[in-house]
Amino acid sequence: MMRAQQVWDISVPDRPGMHSYPGDPTIEVTQVRAIAKGDPANLTHLTLGAHTGTHVDAPAHFIDGGRTLDQMPLDHMVGEATVLDLRGRAAIDAAALADQDLREGDIVLCKTDNSALWDHDGFQEDFTYVTLDAAEVLVARGIKTLGLDYLSIEEFGSKTFAVHKRLLGRNMLIIEGLNLSAVAAGRYFLSCLPLKLLGVDGAPARAVLMR
């Protein structure tokens, strides 16, 4: 039985006006019942996209007929994870991963300059992304999940989404929208559990690291 000595919340808070990928649904929070108005309880109605804030991409996001989120093994979302400090790079390419300690079956979380972008107003187009040759390294090393600290692993403006398709086509899981500002490089235990929705291509999640 594991005893966590410290826990880091690496999720971003979901709220109206938060960063959202252009074209995606934005979050709306409406109070439909309120104790202050004489109702017996408070009740909130939420409207949001499946890829809001910190979220998980299932293969079905880009692979027609691919696995939906409920069909993915839980050990892709919960288990040993390694955080790589890759700050100072415009892109994560194969060279950036060449000397990293990547083990078969790892969950890999990439800390980049993106984690500082959450402090800016509005969506930031110049985020650090993952290149296709880096995706090939991850596939060759047998990585099962990749996480990045902004709303997409793909270069902004991509028309092919080749990196998503390469990783999801191998039944890897992708976690996007992390904030790794407070976390140092190293090995941790990750819990990143999305909502248990059936037949969906992704869902928001609460992600925490433990050590």
Catalytic site residues? 61
Residues 6+ apart with CB under 8 A from 54: 10, 11, 12, 14, 175, 176, 177, 178, 179, 192, 204, 205, 206, 207
Q: Identify any residues that bridge with 205 across adjacent strands, giving them in sequence order.
A: 194
Output the six-digit token pair for 114.
């993106």
Residue with tokens 């690291």: 209
DSSP 40: S
* DSSP secondary structure of 172-193: -EEEES---TT--SEEEEEEEE
Closest alpha carbon to 19 in 92, 104, 125? 125
